[in-house]
Amino acid sequence: MKFFIDTANLDEIREAHAMGVLDGVTTNPSLCAKEGIADFDGFIAEICGIVEGDVSAEVVSTDYKGILEEGRKFARIADNVVVKVPLIKEGIKAIKTFSEEGIKTNCTLCFSPTQALIAAKAGATYISPFVGRVDDISTNGMQLIAEIVEIYQNYGYATEVLVASIRHPMHVVEAARLGADVSTMPFGVIEKLVKHPLTDIGLEKFLSDWDKLQASQ
Ligand code: E4P
């Protein structure tokens, strides 16, 4: 499974990259607003200078022509830019065109298997189902992932399932068990993937026993 970080914070991207397990980055307009990003193109260029893997840059246009203009501009920033396009009718049309032009896309704001199916037919590189937001409305986000993975396998679609809106480590575990291709997660979740209380207790004991051994010699 590929690990992407879902953030617009450069320090978090640098830190996750330094761990050596980061395969890509996703951003969105809300995350950029939170960080006060003024020069979006420059910001994407900076991320692409840190991370070799795919970096999603989201368009804010909602019409076919506008999405194409924004997306083509983003695609010129670096080879690893992926144009993130909302799952609306105009977005699907644009994804089809981007796919014919060899521009990679991440189809975002997916909440149903029918949306995922149509994005794959349009040639999206990634589909982003938002599991946390589905869970938030008392529905099963992981059931959505299972259905999308099954549908894509039935027809051999190349579109990768990028599990988004991840809120906790168990979302990552369940996504991996279902065979999803990518998990994109906040930095806090990446940190939690490493943690286990028995590791901390065990390490503390090993180190204190080692110190006792040294002191006795
Ligand atoms: C995905 O690409 C989105 O940026 C993100 O995962 C949304 O997560 P949220 O529902 O926590 O805002």
Token representation of residue 214:
């040294």
Strands 54-58, 81-86: pairing kind: parallel
Atom of ligand 1 nearest to the CA of 132: 10
**Nearest residue (CA) to ligand 1, atom 1:** 164
Please indicate whether residue 133, judged by its CB atom, sits closer than 6 Å to ligand 1.
yes
Token representation of residue 114: 């029918």
Q: Is 169 in the pocket of ligand 1 (CB under 6 A)?
A: no
Active-site residue, from 2, 34, 84, 93: 84
Domain definitions of the chain by residue range: 2-215
Q: Whose CA is nearest to atom 9 of ligand 1?
A: 165
pLDDT for res 139: 97
Q: Cβ distance 166 to 185 under 8 Å?
A: yes
Distance 76 CA to ligand 1 centre (A): 24
Count Cβ atoms below 10 Å from residue 42 Cβ, excluding itself: 10
Ligand 1 center to residue 24 CA distance, Å?
14
The residue nearest atom 10 of ligand 1, judged by CA position, is 165
53 touches ligand 1 (CB under 6 Å)? no
The CATH classification number of 2-215 equals: 3.20.20.70
**pLDDT by residue (tens digit) across 93-104?**
999 999 999 999
Cross-strand partners of 81: 55
Dist CA 21 CA 169 (whole Å): 15
Interatomic CA distance for residues 104 and 94, integer angstroms: 11
How far apart are the CA of 99 and the centre of ligand 1, in A? 23
Which residue type does 119 have? A
93 is catalytic: no
**Whole-angstrom distance, CA of residue 42 vs CA of residue 51:** 14
* pLDDT of amino acid 149: 98
Q: Are 182 and 149 in contact (CB under 8 A)?
A: no
pTM, full prediction: 0.96
Neighbours of 38 (CB within 10 A): 8
User: From the CA of 31, how far away is ligand 1's center (Å)?
Assistant: 9
- Ranges of residues in the chain with a pLDDT under 70 are none
The answer to whether ipTM exceeds 0.85 is yes
